[in-house]
Structures are given as structure tokens and as C-alpha cells.
């Protein structure tokens, strides 16, 4: 009877310990994008790695509506982590362009990979540089979108106003459709190359991409530091047989400042110590490296991320 009592007590203690351990787990969600895009599979890969290697965290990737919607979720403390673009994070922190209110709680874990600016033009329109857009029919992106905000930045540096052009506010697919129909001379698209819609256009029409020289890009980065310099390799799109130098924004993994430092530290540590596993889930994930983790950083790093980066000897960048 005594043995049974001892075994029963041991069982009770074991159950209490197990419950206590389960309750110690912190559950977090990562807002990504649609299931057909890039954010969702990479976010799923990160959630899997963090859940397996960060002892106290269970992470889940949630479908989302990409950068602007995800920043609204972060800004209102409705989700812990999110995939965003560094440019839209910049606007969100300031309450500008597409954000009515500033979200000062937006923090960064790292920037991930470039999302390249494509200024696509019909060859017959004779547009050789951004200044040639004056008087032309141009799609600048869907109204209030991150794409349109990026186009505003480029036009600002070029000293061009919407009134100087015949402007349409169209998304990627509608931009390409209008160019196919001969209703546009140029269109602006932001996305990791190759962009399927541009590939489709280039197979049936003579198109080109506008290059930006070093002087223009230096002025752009001085005023809008979230930009990086990127190159679209020759042959990416049919008929464009030269490298195209162009600005790019960065996909970025962001976090609510209110998430505890220890949670973000464990999350960041698990991510980078097992980044090879994340890199296998999608071609774009292969561009996620510690060497480029601060490129185009547009909001401050979270204290938990800073703790990890200092631990491995990285210098923490100052974000204006």
C-alpha cells in the first residue's frame, strides 16, 4: 500500500510538473501574406524552426494581406511578428502616406531580401530615364499602396509631379494589361525578380527597364535611407540583354515592441542558428543572411534582437 501511495504521489508531481512546463510555452503568431506569395512559405519555415529550436516558444505562421495590413496588425498590438516591407514600416512609424496614425511600437528583427523597383517602359515610347516620363501615360501603382509610395519617392528625387504626366493608379496585373493594349507608355512594379506579370508582357511586346545612375541612387538613399541599390541581371526578361541598376526596398521581419525581450532573443537566436533550414523552403529565402540583415533597416531593432546580435559580435546600426 505504501508503494502505491509513493507511486501515486510521484504521478501527481509529474503531472503538475508537466502542466507547469506546458504553461511556460509562449505562443506567438507571424503575419505573412497570401498562400501563393513569398511571405507565407518563408514565414512557415521560420515558424517551424523557432518552434523546434526555441525551447519556450511555439510559433505559427498566419496568412495575411502583406505589408500595409500586417503593419496595422503590429501597430495595434494584434499580432506579435509580421512580414513587412522596410519602406512601409518607415511610413507606419511616422504616420505618413497610407497610415493615418503613427505606430511607434514597430521594431525590426532583420531585413530579409530585396523587393526590386521595376520601371517598365514600352520601347516605342522612347523613355530612356525617369526624366523622360514627363508627358507620358504612366501607371504609378494602386492608390495608397506601397508601390505608389515608392514611385512618389523616385519622382520626388527626379523633381517630377503627377501633373507632369498622364497618371493611372493600377495594380501589377492591370498595369501590364493596359501596356499590352497600348494604353500606357510606362508602369511601375515592385517585386522580387523575375516578376511573372513582366515576364508575360516581355514575351509578346518590346519592353525595356529604366536604369538609375549612381548619382540618382545616392540622392534617393540620402533622403529615403530604406532604399538599397540592386541590379536586375541581363536576360531576366526577354529582350533586355543588359544589367539594369535600380533601387530596391527590403522585405523585413518586424515585431511589436511590447513582445518581451527574452521571447524576441530566443526567436532571433533560433532563426539565425538554423537559417540553413529556412533557406531550403523557398528560392528567395536563400538571400536571407546575417551579412545583409541590416541592409535598408528603417525602424529600430527590438531589444531582444539587439541582445543576440551583440552576443555574436555584430555592430548595431543607428536608425534615424
Does position 16 have pLDDT exceeding 80, yes or no? Answer: no
Report the percentage of the chain scoring pLDDT > 70.
93
DSSP string, 282-313: -GGGGG--GGGTTTT--SPBPHHHHHHHHHTT
Same domain, 238 and 167: yes
What's the rounded mean pLDDT across residues 167-191?
94
Does position 139 have pLDDT exceeding 50, yes or no? Answer: yes
Same domain, 216 and 236: yes
C-alpha cell at 247: 533601387
Same domain, 164 and 287: no
- pLDDT value at residue 2: 38
| pLDDT-wise least confident of 16-30, 124-138, 200-214 | 16-30
Same domain, 194 and 181: yes
Per the structure, how many domains does the chain have? 2
What's the rounded mean pLDDT across residues 296-315?
97
Same domain, 154 and 97: no
Looking at 249, 264, 296, the residue that finishes a domain is 249
Q: Is residue 7 part of a domain?
A: no
Q: Is residue 14 part of a domain?
A: no
Alpha-carbon separation of residue 229 from 109, 114, 250 (angstroms): 21, 9, 11
Q: Can you give the CATH number for the domain in which 122 is found? A: 3.40.190.10
Q: What does the buried/exposed string (b/e) look like for 273-305 if buried means 16 or more CB atoms within 10 Å of the residue's CB?
A: ebbebbbebbebbeebeeebbbbbbbbbbbebb
Q: Is residue 1 part of a domain?
A: no
- pLDDT value at residue 114: 94
Angle (nearest 5°) at CA 317 between 312 and 320: 155
Q: Is residue 187 part of a domain?
A: yes
Backbone angles phi, psi at 128, to 5 degrees: -100, -25
Give tens-digit pLDDT for 262-280: 999 999 999 999 999 999 9
Does position 315 have pLDDT exceeding 50, yes or no? Answer: yes
What's the rounded mean pLDDT across residues 249-253?
96
Q: Is 183 exposed, middle or buried (0-12, 13-18, 19+ CB in 10 A)?
A: exposed
Same domain, 236 and 203: yes
Looking at 249, 274, 290, the residue that finishes a domain is 249
Query: Are the C-beta atoms of residues 168 and 125 closer than 8 Å to each other?
Result: no
Q: Is residue 281 part of a domain?
A: yes
Same domain, 97 and 128: no
- pLDDT value at residue 23: 52
DSSP string, 111-161: EEEEEEEEEEEEGGG---SGGGGTTSEEE--STTSHHHHHHHHHHHHHT--
What's the rounded mean pLDDT across residues 92-116?
95
What is the separation of C-alpha 70 from the centre of its chain, rounded to a whole number of angstroms?
11
What's the rounded mean pLDDT across residues 211-236?
96
Looking at 207, 228, 249, the residue that finishes a domain is 249
Confidence at 191, pLDDT banded by 50, 70, 90? confident
Whether cis (ω within 30° of 0) applies to the bond prior to 194 is yes
The parent domain of residue 160 ranges over: 115-249
- pLDDT value at residue 172: 84
Same domain, 234 and 85: no
Q: What is the mean pLDDT of the chain?
A: 91
Q: Is residue 10 part of a domain?
A: no
Cα separation of 183 and 137, whole Å? 7
245 forms bridges with which residues in the sheet? Answer: 231
**HSE toward the beta carbon, residue 137, CA cutoff 13 A:** 13
Q: Give the residue, 136 or 34, on which the prediction is more confident.
A: 136
Residue 76's H or E segment, with its range, is none
- pLDDT value at residue 146: 84
Alpha-carbon separation of residue 30 from 67, 85, 121, 166, 294 (angstroms): 12, 14, 37, 40, 20
Confidence at 171, pLDDT banded by 50, 70, 90? confident
Amino acid at each position: 500500500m505504501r508503494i502505491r501511495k509513493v507511486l501515486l504521489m510521484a504521478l501527481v508531481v509529474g503531472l503538475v510538473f508537466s502542466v507547469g512546463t506546458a504553461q511556460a510555452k509562449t505562443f506567438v503568431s507571424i503575419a505573412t501574406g497570401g498562400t501563393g506569395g513569398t511571405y507565407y512559405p518563408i514565414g512557415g519555415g521560420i515558424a517551424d524552426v523557432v518552434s523546434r529550436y526555441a525551447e519556450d516558444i511555439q510559433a505559427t505562421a498566419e496568412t495575411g494581406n502583406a505589408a500595409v495590413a500586417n503593419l496595422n496588425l503590429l501597430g495595434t498590438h494584434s499580432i506579435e511578428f509580421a512580414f513587412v516591407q522596410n519602406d512601409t514600416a518607415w511610413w507606419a512609424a511616422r504616420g505618413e502616406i497610407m497610415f493615418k496614425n503613427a505606430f511607434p511600437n514597430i521594431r525590426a528583427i532583420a531585413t530579409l531580401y530585396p523587393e526590386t523597383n521595376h520601371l517598365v517602359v514600352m520601347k516605342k515610347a522612347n523613355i530612356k530615364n525617369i526624366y523622360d516620363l514627363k508627358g507620358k501615360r504612366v501607371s504609378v501603382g494602386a492608390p495608397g499602396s506601397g508601390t505608389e509610395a515608392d514611385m512618389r519617392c523616385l519622382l520626388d528625387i527626379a523633381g517630377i509631379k503627377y501633373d507632369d504626366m498622364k497618371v493611372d493608379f493600377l495594380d501589377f496585373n492591370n498595369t501590364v494589361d493596359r501596356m499590352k493594349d497600348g494604353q500606357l507608355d510606362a508602369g511601375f512594379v515592385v517585386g522580387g525578380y523575375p516578376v511573372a506579370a513582366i515576364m508575360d508582357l516581355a514575351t509578346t511586346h518590346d519592353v525595356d527597364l529604366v536604369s538609375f545612375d549612381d548619382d540618382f541612387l545616392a540622392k534617393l538613399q540620402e533622403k529615403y535611407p530604406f532604399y538599397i541599390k540592386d541590379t536586375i541581371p541581363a536576360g531576366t526578361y526577354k529582350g533586355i540583354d543588359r544589367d539594369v541598376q535600380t533601387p530596391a526596398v527590403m522585405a523585413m521581419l518586424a515585431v511589436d515592441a511590447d513582445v518581451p525581450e527574452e521571447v524576441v532573443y530566443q526567436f532571433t537566436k533560433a532563426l539565425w542558428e538554423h537559417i540553413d533550414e529556412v533557406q531550403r523552403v523557398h528560392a528567395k529565402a536563400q538571400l536571407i543572411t546575417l551579412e545583409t540583415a541590416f541592409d535598408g533597416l528603417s525602424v529600430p531593432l527590438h531589444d531582444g534582437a539587439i541582445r543576440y546580435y551583440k552576443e555574436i559580435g555584430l555592430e548595431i546600426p543607428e536608425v534615424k
